[in-house]
Amino acid sequence: MKRYSLIAIVMIVLALSVLPVLSACGTAAPPAATKTIKIGQMLEMSGPFAPGLELVRQGTQVCTDYINDIGGIDVAGLKYNIEIILEDVKSTPEGAVAAANKLIYKDKVDFLLGPAVPPMAMANASVSEEAKIIRALTIGSGVPGELGPNSSYTFGPMSSTSLIGPVYKNVLEIHPEIKKVAIVGPDEPTGQYWIETSKKWAEKYGLEVVFTELYPVGTTDFFPLCTRLWDTKPDAIDLGVGVEPWKAGVMKGCRQLGFTGPAFSGDILEPNTMTALVGKDDAYEMYTAGLNPNSTDYTPMAQELKRRIDAEFPGVYQDRHTGGWSALWTLTEAIKRAGNLDSTNVRDTFQKMTNFETLYGNADMGGFKTFGVNNVAMTPRPFIKIDHGEITDIKIIKPQFYEDLD
């Protein structure tokens, strides 16, 4: 029997024990990113537009964690982690300008997210566009004041105004009896643009618009508006854009006056919030291009977002979480495809992107006929029904701008 030295035996044992460890390390986790991309997030965390926007911040946070957990993003072979720096724009144009200046010139961010509300987005465009810093709008309601040839570094990860027409079409397929519609919204740029666009779509589908009204931002007593609306006897109500307390105020007041028809919006009607605010008995026949938080039938990416929100913020998963995720995800897709962090190169790449992954299916960039720039992600969205606390997935719908009609 051949004799082995003690040192040789020890070396063999150590080698055999290390091999499985090395093998496991090769599959357990991606290599850690060695660089960081700093992204400033501007949000209305205080003031009249703040309700619901903490959810946007949470959506961005879990998207950041997900990207970093999978090893960051690959930019020309280099791995980058994401770092988010949050600034409150305080629901004022002045606050938006101050936030943009701080993030760009003091914090030295590479890119920006937000704000969520058009007047604030318009205000800080003067800062970000002059600095040639890419901004991905957090919710992206999409009005010409936010997006255009003079704001070519500003992008919308989705546009709720591009969902007005598809929602009208699908509501009318379910309720062909609708002949007259009322349209309401807040008296600010998105609400104003929404009513004018909704009127075009309503008339395209042969509807008579019997009532339109813009209410002051921050309204809490909607009964006088509802009384005027109800006098026109509409068959349906377009609840327009805005936060849930405003839309629910209109819905509740009209139900109390005797309105029994359908109500809808291409903007978010968060099902659980609307049901709670309107009251379960009156929260029926409502339709929206929005999220069913109970669904398990969406894409793997959407399921990952839901899993992370449920784990970190139990019991609060809502549609506005998707806005925070989508803005960051779409921006990082443009950075990856550009292959560097140069804003102008990322902008040019962003505008030409096709077939990129989103929460509800792949999308292309669009919006040129409406905005004069190809800066909106034409993101598919769920179309759902809210009925006495029950939420029904109807289909995934594709966005369309009125100007894109043949």
Which CATH number fits the domain that encloses residue 250? Answer: 3.40.50.2300
Residues 261 and 328 in one domain: no
Residues 191 and 251 in one domain: yes
Query: Cα–Cα distance between 136 and 155 in angstroms, integer?
Result: 5
pLDDT for 243: 85
Q: Does residue 21 lie within any of the structural domains?
A: no
User: At CA 119, angle to CA 380 and CA 213, rounded to 5?
Assistant: 80
pLDDT for 223: 96
pTM: 0.86
* Residue whose structure tokens are 């969205």: 381
Residues 280 and 309 in one domain: no
Q: Does residue 361 lie within any of the structural domains?
A: yes
Query: Cα–Cα distance between 99 and 115 in angstroms, integer?
Result: 10
Residues 146 and 233 in one domain: no
How many domains does one find in the chain? 2
Query: Cα–Cα distance between 12 and 199 in angstroms, integer?
Result: 80
Closest CA relative to residue 92, chosen from 124, 52, 70, 63: 124
Query: DSSP states of 328-359 as a string?
Result: HHHHHHHHHHHTS--HHHHHHHHHH--SB--T
Element (H, E) at 321: helix 319-338
Burial of residue 82, with CB atoms counted within 10 A of its CB: 0-12 exposed, 13-18 middle, 19 or more buried: buried
Residues 275 and 390 in one domain: yes
- Domain range for 313 is 35-161+296-379
Residues 390 and 274 in one domain: yes
Residues 222 and 281 in one domain: yes
Convert 280-320 into a string of H (helix), E (strand) and C (coil).
Answer: CCCCCCEEECCCCCCCCCCCHHHHHHHHHHHHHCCCCCCHH
Residues 243 and 190 in one domain: yes
Query: Cα–Cα distance between 54 and 44 in angstroms, integer?
Result: 9
Residues 68 and 157 in one domain: yes
Ranges in the chain, pLDDT < 70:
1-33, 140-141, 406
Using CA atoms of 33, 34, 39, 45 in order, give the dihedral in degrees to the nearest 10.
70
- Half-sphere exposure (Cβ direction) of 337: Cα atoms closer than 13 Å: 18
